[in-house]
A and B are shown apart, each in its own frame.
Chain A
């Protein structure tokens, strides 16, 4: 299956007619995550989905920072850059601005993106660089062996917080919306179909796409997303968002999301108890992000029992890199290509015979 066109995010990336398979995207490196790590599922989904895009694989670059997830580029047979802690969005910026012919991906984690690299993340989002950011959120520091992270619930007991953390966690979706992101989505490692669908939409988006992926770390934070994986609770815990559709959830849609008009906040009710007209219809394309923000607040801040997944926001806005390149071509069109000799001889000059 190839993805439906158009995919404006990949507009300038060369494609190939040669059929590709997931094997083409596997590197010769042995994958070294812990057994049962959620990262395996994401890697499999990405390897399985990249052939759909039909891009020349030499025109795909994965850039990562530091953390368990940051090993991701080593396992893909594309160009890859495993950089330093938190800086992947900055490095991807230089690459995306200078190379419109590349599909640039950033792989990061909750510590990498939201703690040490928080500044780069928010600025990449507001600038709307044409990159796709996969934020693996396991709500813990894995590689450094189990300290609490900026998405850990308050009170989290870890090696560095024996009496419980006293930090309020970030909600990555709320943060991204506050940072003026044009594409914000959430998915989960255990739902391959949903994950692939979100990845496809993110790749298609022209601009910065932030995809939060709930990813289980069985070693240091096992069960953080249990409510979404347990068959008995999953349907009532995950609130799927689909553009243009009323927001309902539960095995038979028995729950619905409605807005409290006084506060503007959303809350869940039993579908049977409300007038159908009151059920919120999701609009991911609206330029005002207030509703998307309010939806993001339906996520628990403590132990997760409920969270919306899907695309919260997907709007068009000119990208930084396109505009930077447009300025260059406009300058060249107006006054011609730069002439070094003329530049050096500009200004007040004088001759000595």
Chain B
């Protein structure tokens, strides 16, 4: 039987099941197959904070969404076209996100009375009543088919049914014409030491593929052609891995040994895991006794002439803030990577948010300025890490890098950079005394600054003649001895600020995307909202309305021309996954009446809601009484 193959330009699939069903692995493998095929893609894993919430319940549902296309895309997609639901809870938890007419592939095996009740379907079975009438539903007993297919390996029923995620993956791989080779070799590697598990998984995967090909349940399969992308070598990468690679690259480029001091915390731990694999680069990973020790040890490594880094999430930043203040005072390079998550307090550990911006800016006692930068996409975490190191080392300052849970776990294809193109980073350690006293003696003054950058010399222990003492107490300008002098303190406070402000000298102007030059509205964002904002801007433009977009990598200092850029537009819209933190900074600094669009749901924005918000603002332009702040409050 030859089946029909239909062309699609893009597809959004969501795999959903119990936390124990291996949905993250399934999604990840499907993504790798898709990447190898050359589609552009973007992913959104979504899992509960509990490692194993009670099986079959709504809180236990884990999902993985992948959006792939034959063209350049920016987000994991607003709503899935296809839902793969492994049990009643997965169906119930995700159905609300599914537009009518979408496809549902459901494992019928667990739709028993008990499991239906556990998922909150009281007394009715959605597979039998009219709940799913508006959808294209494929009911398949995946579990039984899987167990049957792997009989020969003599596994327990429980172990055999575990391979059902590979059956589902095989089926979806057939349905969308994905290559199977990468997954088979992955399974061979992963289960090399357990041959029966390996064979069962491979068999389930192949059986799933054949099931699609041979049964009548699926009449059509689909094809999504590769996307035209710039030439080069690609790989798929998550934000946390890209961040780890960026840190290693910064270490290589600066020839400074990388030292990571870190305490496990979701969603940052994967950076620690990744870096701990790369000892061949001289990377030291220190799993500290707490967050404070993590950053303290990193600062100690920086004092010794290393590239000190600490990784954490918002609650960890709160604990580290005193040490970060010390780093501001010591004026030593230090990278603090905050993989933001929902808060306050423990908040939503596995969900995304960008509400630590003001904490990064101001979350220390007194005037303690430091540069703040944020990546815009998973792959951009690489470049941002290199950039953060470049600033930290050039200006002898701690730098805060704000990633988030969505970037950390989400992935996209990455055009692997040519390492010859990476910026050179010069540590430029002090080797000689830098001051001559009245009686002609040469001395070392640790706070005598470079006139251009205002950076102080970095003199590491082991350098003869440069022995000196530094600390958290205020120091006199130049020679750096303790000073309680009022005028000196005022000067030092202003100088530390001026030094951070001067980072604007090396970051270039604001990158404004306004192709027609006719836009009246500018949308400004930062961090992981780049994808949804960019997709929304495209939608609005496609509908005939010009709109400009600027996405800020540098949040402190801002690019020097940002005020002028903002004033060029009639209105500025600032969408943020917080209650208006960047908006507050822009208003305070530039006295521009920016309009916020704020949602704090623990999930990335949908591009459609942003497109609506832009359209609303556009239509308000010619209504003189319209007050967008009031409108926002009424929402």
A97 with B259: CB separation less than 8 A: yes
Known: A29-B481, A348-B182, A353-B231. A97 touches B284 (CB 8 A): yes
Complex-state Cα separation, A345 to B466, whole angstroms: 42
The answer to whether A94 and B297 touch (CB under 8 A), given A57-B467, A324-B284, A352-B230, is yes
Contacts of A345 in B (CB 8 A): 233, 235, 416
For B252-271 the 0/1 string (1 means CB < 8 A from A) is 10000101010000000000
Q: Please report which residues of chain B, range 330-351, place their CB below 8 angstroms from some CB of chain A when the two chains form the complex.
A: 330
Contact at A98–B293, with CB atoms within 8 Å?
no
- Residues of A close to B249: CB separation below 8 A: 340, 344
Contact A59 B462 (CB under 8 A): yes
Contact of A344 among B229, B284, B419, B482 (CB under 8 A): B419
Contact with A along B215-251 (1 / 0, CB 8 A): 0000000000010011111111000000001001100
- From 75 to 110 in chain A, residues with beta carbon under 8 angstroms from any chain B beta carbon are 76-84, 87, 89-99, 101-102
Contacts of B35 in A (CB 8 A): 348, 350
Is B463 part of the contact surface with A, judged by Cβ < 8 Å?
yes
CB distance from A334 to the nearest CB of B (A): 8
Chain B residues contacting A340 (CB-CB under 8 Å) are: 248-249, 252, 281, 419
Chain B: residues with Cβ within 8 Å of the partner, total of 69
A87-B234 in contact given A93-B286, A94-B297, A349-B416 (Cβ < 8 Å): no
- Residues from 286 to 341 in B contacting A, C-beta threshold 8 Å: 286, 288-290, 292-293, 296-306, 308, 322-323, 325-326, 330
Instruction: Please tell me if the beta carbons of B323 and A84 are within 8 angstroms of each other in the complex.
Output: yes
- Which of A78, A81, A98, A351 meets B234, CB within 8 Å? A351
How distant is the Cα of A240 from the Cα of B229 in the complex, in angstroms?
77
Question: Across the interface, which residues of B come within 8 angstroms of A56, CB to CB?
Answer: 462, 464
In the bound complex, how far is the Cα of B465 from the Cα of A77, in angstroms? 10
User: Which chain B residue has the least Cβ–Cβ distance from A328?
Assistant: B279
Most buried by B among A58, A77, A353: A58
Q: Which residues of A contact B38 (CB under 8 A)?
A: 350, 352
Give Cα A350 to B289, complex, Å. 41
Q: In the complex, are the beta carbons of A338 and B293 less than 8 A apart? A: no
Partner of B32, one of A80, A98, A348: A348
Q: Does A120 interact with chain B (Cβ within 8 Å)?
A: yes
| CB 8 Å contact bits of A112-133 with B (1 = contact, 0 = none) | 0000000110010000000000
Is B54 among interface residues, defined by CB-CB distance under 8 A? no
Within 8 Å by CB of B461, from A61, A94, A120, A328, lies A61
A143 in contact (CB, < 8 A): no
B23 to chain A, nearest CB (A): 20
| Chain B residues whose C-beta falls within 8 Å of the C-beta of A78 in the assembled complex | 467
Total chain A interface residues with beta-carbon distance under 8 A: 61
Contact A90 B288 (CB under 8 A): yes
Closest to B226 in A: A352
Q: Does B36 contact A (CB under 8 A)?
A: yes
**Residue pair B234, A328 in contact (C-beta under 8 Å):** no
Q: What residues of chain B lie closer than 8 Å to A94, measured between beta carbons? A: 259, 261, 286, 296-304, 306, 308
A90-B296, A91-B300, A349-B416 known; A98-B257 Cβ under 8 A: yes
Within 8 A of A (CB), among B452-498: 461-473, 481-482
Closest residue on chain B to residue A333 by CB atoms: B280
| Chain A residues with CB under 8 A of B182 | 348
> Chain A interface mostly helix, strand, loop or mixed?
mixed
A336 at the binding interface (Cβ < 8 Å) = yes
Known: A58-B465, A98-B304, A348-B36. A327 touches B297 (CB 8 A): no
B321 to chain A, nearest CB (A): 11
Interface contact B284-A82, CB-CB below 8 Å: no
The answer for the CA separation of A66 and B322 in the assembled complex, in Å, is 13
B-chain residues with CB within 8 Å of residue A80 when the two chains form the complex:
468-471
B-contacting residues, A313-353, CB 8 Å: 324, 327-328, 331-332, 335-338, 340-341, 343-353
Tell yes or no: B195 within 8 A of A by CB.
no
**CB-based contact A352/B296 at 8 Å:** no
CB contacts (< 8 Å) of B281 on chain A: these are: 337-338, 340, 343
**4 A-B pairs closest in CB distance:** A82-B471, A94-B300, A90-B296, A338-B281
Measured CB to CB, the residues of B under 8 A from A are 32, 35-36, 38, 182, 226, 229-236, 245, 248-249, 252, 257, 259, 261, 278-284, 286, 288-290, 292-293, 296-306, 308, 322-323, 325-326, 330, 416-417, 419, 461-473, 481-482
For this complex, 29 residue pairs linking A to B, each with C-beta atoms less than 8 Å apart, are A29-B469, A56-B462, A57-B467, A58-B462, A73-B469, A74-B469, A81-B330, A81-B469, A82-B469, A87-B292, A87-B323, A90-B288, A90-B296, A91-B303, A92-B300, A94-B296, A99-B305, A123-B289, A324-B284, A327-B279, A332-B280, A335-B280, A340-B419, A344-B249, A345-B233, A345-B235, A349-B234, A352-B38, A352-B226
Please report A residues at the B interface, Cβ cutoff 8 Å.
27, 29, 56-61, 63-64, 66, 73-74, 76-84, 87, 89-99, 101-102, 119-120, 123, 324, 327-328, 331-332, 335-338, 340-341, 343-353
Supplied contacts A87-B323, A345-B235, A350-B36, 9 more A-B pairs, CB within 8 Å? A66-B472, A73-B471, A90-B288, A91-B300, A324-B284, A332-B279, A338-B252, A341-B419, A348-B182
